Amino acid sequence: MHPQGHGSGNLTELCEANRAGIRRSAVFYFGAPMTDRTAKHRRDRTHDAHRREAKPWRRWYKRAAWLRLRALQLSEVPLCERHAAAGDVVLATVVNHRVPHRGDWALFTDRANHESLCESCHNAVAQAEEARGYSVAVDATGWPIDPRHPAN
Ligand SMILES: [Zn+2]
């Protein structure tokens, strides 16, 4: 937090410079200009990140067991699986859980539940699941894996 608030001229300029910096890096990273909508979205995501800190399994992502599984997944499947399905080659940087583990260690560490994604696909998956309340991931037969899916 800024101890002097946003009233001071220097601080306002600094904040504007920071925002411009964020906008520039967003252009670099996503290849599209940052709109007011994505700026708001970014603030919401920061809020979500704070909320998620309350969940004890957030710490699992720092465990050696997870770091090893994550490295293994990204070395075996280095490309984003969803982009690959559409014929696009994009480097994966995130290991997604096909079925959200919600604190289930077995699901968290199950290699069959790991999916290599790029950051933008991972964000899209996370938002869709949050809005829907269940995952639409399917098994080899095409049936939804998530027990909370209406088909199950
Ligand atoms: Zn992707």
Do 23 and 90 belong together in one domain? Answer: no
Q: Which tops the pLDDT comparison, 106 or 146?
A: 106
Neighbouring residues of the ion ligand 1, judged by CB less than 5 Å: 80, 82-83, 90, 118, 121
Do 94 and 152 belong together in one domain? Answer: yes
Say which range, 5-9, 72-76, 78-82, has the weakest mean pLDDT: 5-9
Question: Which residue among 16, 31, 54 closes a domain?
Answer: 54
Instruction: Write out the residue range of the structural domain in which residue 35 sits.
Output: 8-54
Q: What is the DSSP string of the chain?
A: --TTTT-SHHHHHHHHHHHHHHHHHHHHHHSSPPPHHHHHHHHHHHHHHHHHTTSGGGGGGGSHHHHHHHHHHHHHS-B-HHHHHTT---B--EEEESS--TT-HHHHH-GGGEEEE-HHHHHHHHHHHHHHSS---B-TTS-B--TTSTT-
pLDDT at 113: 96
Residue 2 falls inside a structural domain: no
Do 86 and 40 belong together in one domain? Answer: no
User: What is the Å distance from ligand 1's center to 78 Cα?
Assistant: 11
Do 46 and 86 belong together in one domain? Answer: no
Could you read off the pLDDT of 25-52 as tens digits, one per residue? 444 444 455 556 666 666 666 665 555 5
Could you read off the pLDDT of 82-138 as tens digits, one per residue? 999 999 999 999 999 998 898 999 999 999 999 999 999 999 988 887 787 777 777
